[in-house]
Structure 1
Amino acid sequence: MRYYYAEHQAAYRRLGREGMTQWNDLFGESWTFDDFPNRVFLESVLDRLPASGEVLEYGCGTGPAACFLAARGFRVDAIDLIPEAITLARRFAQERGVTVNFSVQDVCAMPVGSKQYDVILDSYCLQSIVTDPDRAAVLAAVRDRLKPNGHYVLSTAMYDSDRVYEDDFRYDATTGICYERSTEPADDAVQLDNTWYLPHRRHLRPKALRAELEANGLQVLSQQGELRGDVICTPTRRG
């Protein structure tokens, strides 16, 4: 089992049991399904996106952003690793009368596909994709699936000097990786000072995120937000 699976499966099972609607509900934050964390950013970029364009959202969770775009005429495919998340997403889309093609898929292991999109959306998924190979795989999938004039619309958690990493976590400022203490060796675990840790999050500084995107064939058009984690990219022209 990969490092990112157990946490997310437990979270979406809890959402279902307790009648919650999205990830942030787990932390007592004051969001609703229709007032989700990156809604304001999405609203600000709608005029850059083609009306009724084809959208792929990966790591869609319970689907608030996917439903938001579908309600505005976009044709949306949305994927998530966790079956429980997709079950909830389908229910919430049906309740709102919108059509989204939801499916279970791990964005870190996406099969080669021929379909290309006008928009690929990440609503706070990338920070949970931690290791270099996984992030390279995801960004390669984004680059390959974008139409030549398509847009990668990304919202991700960033390094925050005010964030406190509690005792079971260890932050590596060089890589931006936050590790979580593990009780035993496991797939993807690393040993630091004779203690096992699993990858947990990656919180980059703005320049590092921009450099990573550019190194993976994406041209950054804008980088905004309080911590500069709301980004719009297009594919770098080849040749």
Structure 2
Amino acid sequence: MRYYHAEHESAYRRIGELGYTQWNDLFDQSGAWTYDYFQNRAFLEWVLPRLDLPPADATRVLEYGCGTGPAACFMAGRGFQVEAIDLIPEAITLARRMAEERGVRVAFRVADICALASDQVSGRYEIVLDSYCLQSIVTDEDRGAVFAAVQARLKPGGYYVISTALRTPGRNNEPGFYYDASTGIYYREVPAGTVADHVVEIDGRWHIPHRRHISADALRDELVAAGFQVMSLEGSETGDVVCCLGTP
């Protein structure tokens, strides 16, 4: 099993069982973020008018790691042609229900962005969107696969739009986690005998990759090395990024 699968499968099962609508409901009951006022909505509202795009009904959008689909539904509600994928079937089931309730049209399907780099490209998009998925794609190999999949599907002149968590100095590790400052990888402790890829022993305990939180500068360097031009990158604890193909 991939290191990121079990956590997300369990989380979306709980979301469905508890009647929640989106990922943040599991961790924050304050109501700061809701399905319709999701974490990167303000960024999307700000950035979309500033991008050189065709009319919305002629602009194709692919969101990967869409979860229950708040950003995908937001984009569809503004007239974009939206496709959205997630590796967890329970997430896609909930996303389809949410889109139906809001009267918007999104082509949801189950797929793993890390596997798309080796799949045949069936379409290209003016926007490829990442709403806090990249931080859960931890290893160099997987992040390279994601970037390759995006490049293969992005139209010339299109935009790779990312919101992701960043590493902030002085942040304390939570119990059960180990942070490798040299890579930006958080490892989560798991029981001995856990069956997953990339299980490693750290200080006599078993861990799997959990998140990758790097600095804004490191993220910029990573994207440029992967072949993107970083047009803007703003943020401290979270980063909002716009890229296009090619180098400066």
TM over 0.5: yes
Question: Using the alignment, how far apart are the partners of 2:21 and 2:220 within structure 1?
Answer: 32
Structure 1: give runs of 5+ residues left out of the alignment. none
Structure 2: give runs of 5+ residues left out of the alignment. none
1:7 offset after TM fit, Å?
0.4
Aligned: 1:209 with 2:215: no
Preserved CA contact (<8 Å) 1:49 1:151: no
- The correspondence for 2:178, drawn from 165, 170, 173, is 170
Question: Using the alignment, how far apart are the partners of 2:52 and 2:15 within structure 1?
Answer: 32
Question: Using the alignment, how far apart are the partners of 2:247 and 2:166 within structure 1?
Answer: 27
Aligned: 1:5 with 2:15: no
Give the aligned residue type for 1:216: A
Instruction: Describe the SS at the equivalent of 1:122.
Output: strand
Question: Using the alignment, how far apart are the partners of 1:210 and 1:94 within structure 2?
Answer: 37
- Give the equivalent residue in structure 1 for 2:166: 158
Question: Using the alignment, how far apart are the partners of 1:120 and 1:37 within structure 2?
Answer: 17
Preserved CA contact (<8 Å) 1:206 1:227: no
1:139 offset after TM fit, Å?
0.7
Superposed CA deviations along residues 4-36 of structure 1, whole A, max 9, x for unmatched, are: 011001111111111111000111252111000
Superposed CA deviations along residues 103-131 of structure 1, whole A, max 9, x for unmatched, are: 00011111231411000000000000001
Instruction: Describe the SS at the equivalent of 1:119.
Output: strand
Preserved CA contact (<8 Å) 2:130 2:162: yes
- Give the equivalent residue in structure 2 for 1:60: 66
Question: Using the alignment, how far apart are the partners of 1:71 and 1:228 within structure 2?
Answer: 25
Aligned: 1:44 with 2:46: yes
- The correspondence for 1:124, drawn from 128, 132, 135, is 132
Q: CA RMSD in A?
A: 1.4
Q: TM-score, normalised by structure 2?
A: 0.92
Q: TM-score, normalised by structure 1?
A: 0.96
Superposed CA deviations along residues 26-51 of structure 1, whole A, max 9, x for unmatched, are: 11252111000000000011111523
Aligned: 1:35 with 2:43: no
CA 1:49–1:77 in 2, change beyond 3 Å: closer, same or farther? farther
- Give the equivalent residue in structure 2 for 1:18: 18
% of aligned pairs identical?
59
- Give the equivalent residue in structure 2 for 1:198: 208
Superposed CA deviations along residues 81-109 of structure 1, whole A, max 9, x for unmatched, are: 00000000000000000000000001111
Question: Using the alignment, how far apart are the partners of 1:49 and 1:127 within structure 2?
Answer: 27
Preserved CA contact (<8 Å) 1:177 1:200: yes
Give the aligned residue type for 1:225: G
- Give the equivalent residue in structure 2 for 1:72: 78
- The correspondence for 2:153, drawn from 134, 138, 145, is 145
* Deviating more after overlay: 160-169 vs 120-129: 160-169
Question: Using the alignment, how far apart are the partners of 2:184 and 2:247 within structure 1?
Answer: 29
Instruction: Describe the SS at the equivalent of 2:98.
Output: helix
- The correspondence for 2:240, drawn from 226, 230, 234, is 230
Instruction: Describe the SS at the equivalent of 2:38.
Output: coil
Superposed CA deviations along residues 165-221 of structure 1, whole A, max 9, x for unmatched, are: 222100011100000112125321112233211000000001110111011111000
Preserved CA contact (<8 Å) 1:49 1:119: no
Give the aligned residue type for 1:149: G
* Deviating more after overlay: 220-229 vs 20-29: 220-229
Instruction: Describe the SS at the equivalent of 1:229.
Output: strand
